């Protein structure tokens, strides 16, 4: 099975980030523009939290707090689960399932180097399996003797 590093090579490392004092409206607009479900909350170069669409729905929308000037640091998740580039995709799936999360920031020591979602992992795994199947079919039906 592949690793987070291999997935990031294929996917890319573009991140949607916000500072703790960013307004919720601004960060949600940025997430919508980039078609992502999560923004990393950074204090300079330090990862301090993560903001997901789920955070917004549960902590703002359902509590009727829209338009009240709420800042990212008021609703971001701070109990973060992170992985490194050498973490296996199987380990990532286990973490996501156990912790009921959909996104994992990827760290190199204290530096953020990417983020992976459950969708990224599934897409990568399907692609790898398709590649393997194609190669096996070509091997089996290869040039005759």
- What domains lie within the chain, and their CATH numbers? 4-140 (3.10.580.10)
**Side-by-side strand order, sheet with 17-18:** 17-18, 38-43, 46-52
Give the burial string for 53-90 (b: 16+ CB within 10 Å, else e). bebbeebbeeeeeeeeebbbbebbbeebeebebebebe
pLDDT for 67 equals: 67
pTM for the model: 0.81
Q: Report pLDDT digits (tens) over 8-45.
A: 998 888 899 999 999 998 999 999 999 999 999 999 99
pLDDT-derived band at 102 (thresholds 50, 70, 90) equals very high
User: Do 92 and 107 touch, CB atoms closer than 8 A?
Assistant: no
CA angle 88, 91, 97 (to 5 degrees): 145
């Amino acid at each position: 099975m592949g690793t987070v590093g291999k997935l990031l090579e294929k996917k890319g490392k573009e991140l949607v980030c916000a500072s703790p004092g960013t307004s919720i409206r601004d960060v949600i607009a940025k997430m919508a523009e980039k078609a992502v479900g999560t923004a990393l909350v950074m204090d300079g170069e330090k990862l301090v939290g993560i903001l997901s669409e789920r955070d917004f729905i549960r902590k703002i929308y359902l509590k009727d707090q829209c338009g009240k000037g709420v800042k990212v640091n008021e609703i971001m998740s701070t109990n973060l689960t992170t992985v490194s580039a050498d973490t296996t995709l199987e380990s990532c799936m286990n973490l996501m399932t156990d912790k009921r999360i959909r996104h994992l920031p990827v760290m190199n020591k204290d530096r953020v180097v990417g983020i992976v979602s459950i969708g990224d992992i599934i897409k990568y795994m399907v692609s790898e399996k398709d590649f393997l199947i194609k190669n096996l079919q070509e091997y089996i039906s290869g040039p005759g003797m």
